[in-house]
Amino acid sequence: MDKRTVEKNKPLLLLYRLLLPFVDMNKFLASVTGVFWYIPNLIKYMIESKTWLINLDMYPILDEKTKITGVDYQYLYQQLWVFNEVNKQKPKDHYDIGSTYQMSGYIAGITNAHFLDIRPVKAEIDNLELLEGSIEDLPFEDNSLESVSCLHVIEHIGLGRYGDKMNINGGEIACRELGRVVKKGGYLYLSTPIGRERVCFNAHRVFNPNTILNYFKGFELEEFNMVDDEGKLHKDTKVKEFKDKEYSLGMFKLRKNK
């Protein structure tokens, strides 16, 4: 968007910024409360700076005045897990399928990194190859990849959320493709929501962890970690410990049988 277009749309942009804090119901209460400290702070700042700030550049953020920093523990723990595992195993190449290119960028600092996604990323990062492709038809030979990660991805496949084609068996197909490309003796680091098995259309699926293990019969489960419904990390636990969970994260360290 060029400067002229921005200036022309400033009133609409201001309206968007004013309404945005109240649209997300998870932030609504905090935003309503935030109005009562935002206005006094605004007035105080204008007096002390002798600057008029009630204009089209206003950008109220009302929900971040918290005692602790909000964290998505599932994403935090899973990315640290894969980074540490790759650093420990030290494969010649590591391939990530659709997780986050940011994590692949960090991994590029310790080995040759490759990131594949259905929606290509345009960035220039040393030692990171960015690839376009679908997890339902991976562009790799059978038994060819030594180290692969796929975090918070398979639960979305076949639901159309990211422009992929509808397929009720999308999750299973994705697992089959991941299993196909990992070489014998190679590692697959997989994470997905676990709990009461269901489809939350079109956001994601939630799997029983035993369903995931059934998809990877040619693999050995070397480690299972879980981030529970409350965001607590359970390291190297048992699959059976997931029971009675609604929306936890299962992290599966799988090694393909030789």
Residue partners of 50: CB distance under 8 A and separation at least 6 = none
pLDDT band with cut points at 50, 70 and 90 for residue 8: low
What share of the chain in percent tops pLDDT 90?
Answer: 78
Preceding peptide of 9 cis, ω within 30°? no
Mean pLDDT to the nearest integer, 42-47: 96
User: Which one of 30-39, 121-130, 215-224, 243-252 scores highest in mean pLDDT?
Assistant: 215-224
Please give the structure tokens belonging to residue 224: 């299972």
What is the tens place of the pLDDT at every residue in 78-98? 999 999 999 999 999 999 999
Mean pLDDT to the nearest integer, 60-73: 90
Q: Tell me the C-alpha distance between 174 and 216, whole Å.
A: 11
- Specify the higher pLDDT residue, 132 or 2: 132
Query: Residue 34: its pLDDT value, please?
Result: 93
What is the tens place of the pLDDT at every residue in 47-62? 999 999 999 899 999 9
Is residue 37 classed exposed, middle or buried when 0-12, 13-18 and 19+ CB atoms within 10 A define those classes?
exposed
Which of 85, 183, 96, 90 has the alpha carbon at shortest distance from 135?
96
pLDDT band with cut points at 50, 70 and 90 for residue 3: low
Q: How many Cβ atoms from other residues are within 10 Å of residue 199's Cβ? A: 14
Q: Which long-range contacts (CB under 8 A, 24 or more apart) does 86-95 make?
A: 86/110, 86/111, 86/147, 86/149, 89/147, 89/187, 91/146, 91/147, 91/187, 92/146, 93/145, 93/146, 93/147, 94/146, 94/147, 94/148, 94/149, 95/140, 95/145, 95/147, 95/148, 95/149
Give whole-number Cα distances, 81 to 74, 77, 107, 151, in Å: 11, 6, 12, 11
Q: Which domains does the chain carry?
A: 1-68 (no CATH), 73-256 (3.40.50.150)
Identify the three-state secondary structure at position 158: coil
Whole-prediction pTM: 0.87
Kindly report the average pLDDT of the chain as a whole number. Answer: 93
